[in-house]
């Protein structure tokens, strides 16, 4: 992991933390507003039920009427709402004959913004439905019901205050949620450096370990090689000395690959982006492999679209191309074919580099792990061909540097590595 990867990790932590906080606030706000809406609707339905049960006129104005209501228990029901309900409730009620057409009575004394004609029109519309029930139109909640004597009643309750209160709760919830989200984002940004500081320290120690281990291993390997060469000079070559030399060569190759990883990370940090002709860059990188193809009796096919340009580090593009072509020739079947293709996607906004080779034994291979460091599908087979599983990992790192992807697939005896660069 290099400085660029650390920065990406930092912003991933910031965005993940912020998104988590946002989801928590969203669930909390939705729960509060849902509960508030349910409680409000239940209260409104209770008011409508109360008005319907009392034929739309539960509040007489005479003392006698109040005494009668008190004896009948009406005030006890009324107190379930609020002592001010009588004065604050804004409603009207229309009672129809059993035919639902003839108006028998109308109570509009608790509303002032509607005429009797408007009230009757709204009531006819509500009663005209096939079944009794609840509904809402504008600021009015309504209920229709059939009374015990066969008459029908429609009660409309003005709930503008409750609706406005619910909207204020929603508005305040949103303001507080986004305000807290902004504060959380700022705090996470401020503390993100402290969060990733242990990761940065681990990266530094890993780089130092790789560098030190590479240098420390060179000396004993050189001594082993020298001693083995002296042994061969004195006593001649043997199976054992040759085995020792092969293992020394393998360890030297492993050390070189470790150094390559460290240098690749350092170069990524120092890479300079500039407009380049990627078509020319890829073509020049492929040209030296013509002689290798002739020597190995393999066919090298180039399908490179000319004049493709992008903002990149030319050395990185050459390294990416070389890594994939080396891999293609290394694992290509005898007298097989290697194809290098370069073109664009999405009207030139993306560059696609595809390098494929014949690979008859690739039908049952696990390609999901090809880009892991030091991973080799067939260890015995790959030992003969050299390599330690480093090249494809570095190629993936280069593609990520350009915000792109690298993938591998196999079909009809051909294995294809496809890089998409942005």
Residue with tokens 């209920």: 143
In the sheet that holds 299-304, the strands lie side by side as 299-304, 337-345, 350-358, 414-421, 405-411
Task: Give the residue with greater pLDDT, 65 vs 276.
Answer: 276
Please report, for residues 122, 135, 171, 226, the alpha-carbon distance to residue 138 in angstroms, rounded to integers and kept in the order given: 11, 10, 20, 96
Q: Measured on CA atoms in the order 320, 336, 341, 354, is the torsion positive or negative?
A: negative
* Domain residue extents for the chain: 3-165, 272-421
Task: Give the residue with greater pLDDT, 247 vs 371.
Answer: 247
Burial of 394 (0-12, 13-18, 19+ CB in 10 A): buried
Burial of 277 (0-12, 13-18, 19+ CB in 10 A): middle
Mean pLDDT of 359-371: 78
Q: Which residues pair with 242 in a beta bridge?
A: none
pLDDT above 50: residue 345: yes
What are the tokens at 183?
């504060």
Q: Which residues pair with 159 in a beta bridge?
A: none
pLDDT tens sequence across 30-71: 999 999 999 999 989 998 988 888 888 765 543 444 444 444
Asked: is 272-421 a CATH 1.20.120.790 domain? The reply is no
Identify the CA nearest to 304 among candidates 318, 290, 286.
286
Contacts of 80 (CB under 8 A, 6+ apart): 46
- Other CB atoms within 10 Å distance of the CB of residue 332: 21
pLDDT tens sequence across 143-186: 999 888 888 999 999 998 889 999 999 999 999 989 988 998 88
Identify the CA nearest to 317 among candidates 351, 367, 357, 269.
351
pLDDT above 90: residue 141: yes
Question: Can you give the pTM of this predicted structure?
Answer: 0.52
Question: How sure is the predictor about 378, in pLDDT bands with cuts at 50, 70 and 90?
Answer: low
Contacts of 272 (CB under 8 A, 6+ apart): 313
pLDDT tens sequence across 285-337: 998 888 888 888 889 999 999 988 888 888 888 888 888 998 888 888 888 99
Identify the CA nearest to 382 among candidates 239, 413, 68, 374.
374
Residue 27 to residue 152: CA distance in whole angstroms: 43
Task: Report the chain's mean pLDDT, rounded to a whole number.
Answer: 80
């Amino acid at each position: 992991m290099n400085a660029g990867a650390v920065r990406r990790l930092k912003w991933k932590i910031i965005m993940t933390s912020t998104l988590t906080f946002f989801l928590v606030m969203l669930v909390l706000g939705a729960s509060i507003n849902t509960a508030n809406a349910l409680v409000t609707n239940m209260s409104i339905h209770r008011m409508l039920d109360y008005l319907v049960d009392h034929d739309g006129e539960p509040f007489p104005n005479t003392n006698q009427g109040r005494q009668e209501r008190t004896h009948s228990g009406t005030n006890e029901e009324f107190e379930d709402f609020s002592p001010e309900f009588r004065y604050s409730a804004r409603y009207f009620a229309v009672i129809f004959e059993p035919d639902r057409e003839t108006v028998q009575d109308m109570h509009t004394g608790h509303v002032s913004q509607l005429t009797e004609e408007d009230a009757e029109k709204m009531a006819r519309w509500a009663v005209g439905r096939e079944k009794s029930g609840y509904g809402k139109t504008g600021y009015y909640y309504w209920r229709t019901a059939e009374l015990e004597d066969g008459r029908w009643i429609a009660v409309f309750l003005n709930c503008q205050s409750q609706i406005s209160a619910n909207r204020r709760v929603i508005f305040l919830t949103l303001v507080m949620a986004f305000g807290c989200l902004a504060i959380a984002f700022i705090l996470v940004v401020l503390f993100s450096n402290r969060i990733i500081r242990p990761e940065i320290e681990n990266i530094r120690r890993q780089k130092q370990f790789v560098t030190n281990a590479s240098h420390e291993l060179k000396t004993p390997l050189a001594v082993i090689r020298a001693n083995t060469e002296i042994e061969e000079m004195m006593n001649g070559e043997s199976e054992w000395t040759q085995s020792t030399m092969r293992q020394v060569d393998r360890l030297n190759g492993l050390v070189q690959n470790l150094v390559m990883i460290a240098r690749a990370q350092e170069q990524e940090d120092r890479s300079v982006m500039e407009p380049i002709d990627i078509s020319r860059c890829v073509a020049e990188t492929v040209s030296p492999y013509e002689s290798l193809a002739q020597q190995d009796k393999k066919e090298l096919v180039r399908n490179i679209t000319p004049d493709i340009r992008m903002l990149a580090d030319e050395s990185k593009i050459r390294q990416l191309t070389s890594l994939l072509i080396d891999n293609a020739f290394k694992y290509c079947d005898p007298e097989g074919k290697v194809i290098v293709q370069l073109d664009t996607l999405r009207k030139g906004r993306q560059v696609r580099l595809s390098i494929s080779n014949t690979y008859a034994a690739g039908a049952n291979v696990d390609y999901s792990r090809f880009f892991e460091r030091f991973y080799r599908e067939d260890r015995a087979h790959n030992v003969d061909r050299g390599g330690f599983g480093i090249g494809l990992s570095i190629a993936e790192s280069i593609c990520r540097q350009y915000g792109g992807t690298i993938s591998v697939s196999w079909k009809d005896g051909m294995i294809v590595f496809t890089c998409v660069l942005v």
